[in-house]
Structure 1
């Protein structure tokens, strides 16, 4: 199956701006795409994994991913999915977190791939030097307040309040897309489902400044748990990708304790097993759920992917 069809089979497509146009583009050209990660902590967590591994799938299919670290947008705060204002972090803190996240992203993408090496960028490189008059004239002029107010990320905050700082976030992310379109030939932005408004704002800015330019957006569904609790959280807290914050043993245990109702979906999201392999595990889950073969496979595959073979062996030994 083609890449978009595989992503749909895996349940990794929530929305696309032009499905037929995107499928045609992916089948005919090597596409440059990007996904952004704001440094809101000193490590990424497993909630980021779906986006990271989707970039990896694009690269394996021959496309060129750019992982964008939000060194600038991380200083502003994304209102998407938040009920109140984020706490603003010091510039030095965000710089240190950006460096850590850049290192983590480097584990999952191939920067030496022949023909389609991945890249890591930091949006502070172009937003940091931007003066306010240039930003308002070249970017702000293309956005009506009515357009921005209609976005869900803003709508959801009208009653509780939203500062001009966070209100302007979507324009900064839109500018990222335009900048990468101009300098890297980036035609596609992917992100979580809460990023739909920001992604379409970028497409609008590209359309208004570049005319007939063809760019696309794709969102990945929010990962949920069947029991209603938040994915990636346990009684002891967030499951981080940093082994100093969440040990490989704790990481392995999180996955092996996956509910039967979630495990096949997570195998599709978070592993690179084939359709046939996952369907065989689904059959085994139906026939012999007590063996927990699907959970063991999920825990082994994801732990190995994030922490490596030796850490996986140690986690299994301790278990």
Structure 2
């Protein structure tokens, strides 16, 4: 397939290199002339181990190029993947201005006599409902009543970590493909062919919230681990050994148990064993804010 990637930041560049290495033809689009020039010279505009090699090989084999303007470049593309930023606004909400701009640019470039729909895939983090309430109306306003025939909308969150992004791309924990009606997108299934991971074909709102859920859970884990580490350090306990013991338990500690909504917080152990550490930490003046917050709710 021929695949356009709009936004050559960390996510976009990684996708460009990995997708091109699978044999697809990739077109990178970014408003930054510096990024475009760097990619066309066979190098990655962002640092990620192994990415320069993928991009250099793809350029040498004629499967990757970059431009600064869409123009008519999407005419023969099968998929357009949006990877522009959604930074935090002053109120903490995601700034969706780049999403709006690139969506309008894509819609304006689509010709009414196009053969087959363009699959427009969003990987940028966005709040649930964005596709239906913001993105879809833009396409419909610019393309008219044939919008749904000309464009297939998909939300496909990425789960990449810096320094291991290439391995994460080809060995993801899961593949989430959200569409308006929840039916599988044939082109996106084909794009992920050969990648072994569970695939979830879901509605687009379920897909949109996935990245929020994952990242907030990771934040909870980081904060919790650091608080435990502070407690251990203050009372002369090996945080490394405590961590080793904790992660060895994949039946309860690292598992789906206790994470399914609906179960009550209670019983004979949980309330008292949350209050206990809060009191203990307070005694040593190393209050764990997260534990105190939970205890205060009891």
The normalised TM-score by structure 1 is 0.32
Task: Report 1 or 2 for greater relative contact order, CA contacts < 8 Å, sequence distance ≥ 6.
Answer: 1
- Select the structure of larger CA radius of gyration: 2
More helix by proportion, 1 or 2?
1
